[in-house]
Amino acid sequence: MATDGTINWTVVVLTCQHKDSVYAFQRELDLRQQRGGLPAGALLLTVADPQARLGSGGATLNALLVAAEHLSARAGHTVVTADVLDDAHILILHTGRDFPWDSCGRAFCWLPVGGTHQAVESPVCCLDMLLDCLSHQVCPGSPPGVWVCSTDMLLSLPSRPVMSWEGFSGVRVLALPGEVSYATKHGVYLSDRQGKVCDIIYRGSEERIRPAVLPDGKVPLVSGPVFLSRCVSERLLQTHVTSPLDGCTYLGMDSGAPSLQISLFLDILMCLCSDVSETQFINEERPGSTSPTGPQGAAVRSARAVLWRTLRGIPLTMEYIADGTYDYMTLSGSEHICRLTKNGWQKETLSHIESRYGVSEDGRVINSVLEGTVRVSAGAVIQHCHLQGLLEVPSGSLVSGLEATSGSHLQQLLLSGDTIIQGHRVQLGELKLTVYTVLGADDDLEASCEESTFLNHSWTDLYKRTGIRPEELWATSDDNKMPRSLLEARLFPVFQPRDGAVGLEGISWLVSGGPGTLEWWRGTWRLSLREVLSLTDQEGELRWREELFFHAARRRATDTLRVHSDHSLLPSIRAAVLGGQQGELLSTLDSVAAGSSENLGVAARTLACIADVLGCMAGEGRGGLRSGPAANPAWASAFSLLERRDLPAAIQALANQRSHWLNRPDLLVRAARHYEGAGQVLLRQAVMSAQEFVSIGEGEMPPLGEWQEVECPARLDLSGGWSDTPPIAFERGGAVVNVAVKVDGRRPIGARARRITEPRLLLVTSSGRPDCSVATETVCTTLQDLEDHCQPHAPGALLKAVCVCSGLVTFPSQQPLGQQLMQRWGGGLELHSWSLLPHGSGLGTSSILAGAVLAAVYRSTGRSYDTDSLIHAVLHLEQTLTTGGGWQDQVGGLVGGVKLARSRAFLPLRVEVERLSLSSDFLSALQQRLLLVYTGKTRLARNLLQDVVRSWYSRLPSIVSNTEQLVSNAEECALACTDGDLSKLGACLDRYWQQKKVMAPGCEPAAVRSMMSALRPLALGQSLAGAGGGGFLYLLTRDARQEEAVRHVLSSTPGLGDFSVHSVELDMEGICILQQSHRTRKEV
DSSP 649-689: HHHHHHHHHHTTS-SSHHHHHHHHHHHHHHHHHHHHHHHGG
What confidence tens digit (pLDDT) does each residue in 171-190 have?
999 999 999 999 998 999 99
SS3 29: helix
Q: CA–CA separation, 1 vs 9, rounded Å?
A: 8
Q: Which amino acid is at 601?
A: G
- The whole-number pLDDT of residue 713 equals 98
Q: CA–CA separation, 453 vs 895, rounded Å?
A: 81
Is 1081 a residue whose pLDDT tops 50?
Answer: no
- The whole-number pLDDT of residue 812 equals 92
Q: CA–CA separation, 561 vs 589, rounded Å?
A: 9
Mean pLDDT of 675-695: 93
- The whole-number pLDDT of residue 939 equals 63
- The whole-number pLDDT of residue 509 equals 86
Q: CA–CA separation, 631 vs 678, rounded Å?
A: 10
Is 1080 a residue whose pLDDT tops 60?
Answer: no
Pick from 41, 40, 35, 32: which is nearest to 14 by CA?
Answer: 32
- The whole-number pLDDT of residue 1079 equals 46
Q: What are the residues facing 383 on neighbouring strands?
A: 366, 400
Pick from 344, 416, 343, 410: which is nearest to 382 by CA?
Answer: 410
Q: Which residues are within 8 A (CB) of 974 and not within 5 positions of it... i.e. 6 or more apart?
A: 737, 900, 916
Output Rg (C-alpha) for the chain, integer angstroms.
38
What confidence tens digit (pLDDT) does each residue in 905-926 have?
999 999 999 999 999 999 999 9
Q: Tell me how long the chain is.
A: 1084
- The whole-number pLDDT of residue 1 equals 41
Residues 174-198, buried b or exposed e (16+ Cβ, 10 A)?
bbbbbebeebeebbbbbbeeebbbb
Mean pLDDT of 78-91: 95
Neighbours of 600 (CB within 10 A): 24
Pick from 681, 687, 688, 669: which is nearest to 604 by CA?
Answer: 681
What confidence tens digit (pLDDT) does each residue in 287-322 have?
878 889 888 889 999 999 999 999 999 999 999 999
| Helices assigned H by DSSP within 481-599 | 505-512, 518-522, 529-534, 538-562, 570-578, 582-594
Angstrom distances, CA of residue 342 to CA of 112, 153, 396, 797: 10, 16, 12, 63
- The whole-number pLDDT of residue 771 equals 57
- The whole-number pLDDT of residue 2 equals 45
For 717, the enclosing helix (H) or strand (E) is strand 714-719
Burial of 322 (0-12, 13-18, 19+ CB in 10 A): middle
What confidence tens digit (pLDDT) does each residue in 619-646 have?
988 999 888 889 999 999 999 999 999 9
Local structure of residue 184 (DSSP, 8 states)? T
For 612, the enclosing helix (H) or strand (E) is helix 600-618
Q: Which residues are within 8 A (CB) of 675 and not within 5 positions of it... i.e. 6 or more apart?
A: 607, 608, 610, 611, 614, 654, 658
Q: pTM for the full model?
A: 0.90
Burial of 815 (0-12, 13-18, 19+ CB in 10 A): exposed
What confidence tens digit (pLDDT) does each residue in 396-449 have?
999 999 987 655 678 778 878 899 999 999 998 889 999 999 999 999 999 999
Query: CA-CA-CA-CA torsion for 600, 604, 610, 615, nearest 10 degrees?
Result: 180
Local structure of residue 125 (DSSP, 8 states)? B
What confidence tens digit (pLDDT) does each residue in 224-237 have?
899 999 999 999 99
| Helices assigned H by DSSP within 138-294 | 180-183, 206-209, 230-238, 250-254, 278-283
What confidence tens digit (pLDDT) does each residue in 471-525 have?
999 986 555 567 899 999 999 999 988 888 998 888 988 888 766 689 999 999 9
**Percent helix / strand / coil, the chain, rounded to 5:** 40, 20, 35
Q: Mean pLDDT of all residues in the chain?
A: 92
- The whole-number pLDDT of residue 289 equals 84
- The whole-number pLDDT of residue 407 equals 59
Mean pLDDT of 98-110: 95
Mean pLDDT of 328-339: 95
Q: CA–CA separation, 396 vs 360, rounded Å?
A: 13
- The whole-number pLDDT of residue 1077 equals 57
How is 434-483 classified by DSSP, letter by letter? EEEEEEETT--SSSBTTT-EETTEEHHHHHHHH---GGGTS--STT----
Mean pLDDT of 337-350: 93
Give the largest Cα separation in the chain, rounded: 121
- Asked if 765 and 752 touch (Cβ cutoff 8 Å), the reply is no
Q: Which residues are within 8 A (CB) of 858 and not within 5 positions of it... i.e. 6 or more apart?
A: 696, 806, 864, 865
Angstrom distances, CA of residue 66 to CA of 30, 92, 97, 240, 533: 18, 11, 21, 11, 27
Q: Which band of pLDDT confidence, cut at 50, 70 and 90, is reported for residue 1082?
A: very low
SS3 755: strand
- The whole-number pLDDT of residue 937 equals 79
- Asked if 1026 and 848 touch (Cβ cutoff 8 Å), the reply is no
Q: Cα 217 from chain centroid?
A: 42
Angle, helices 538-562 vs 22-35, to 10°: value is: 30
- Asked if 186 and 221 touch (Cβ cutoff 8 Å), the reply is yes
Is 942 a residue whose pLDDT tops 60?
Answer: no
Neighbours of 36 (CB within 10 A): 13
Backbone angles phi, psi at 546, to 5 degrees: -65, -40
Is 941 a residue whose pLDDT tops 60?
Answer: no
Mean pLDDT of 1010-1033: 93
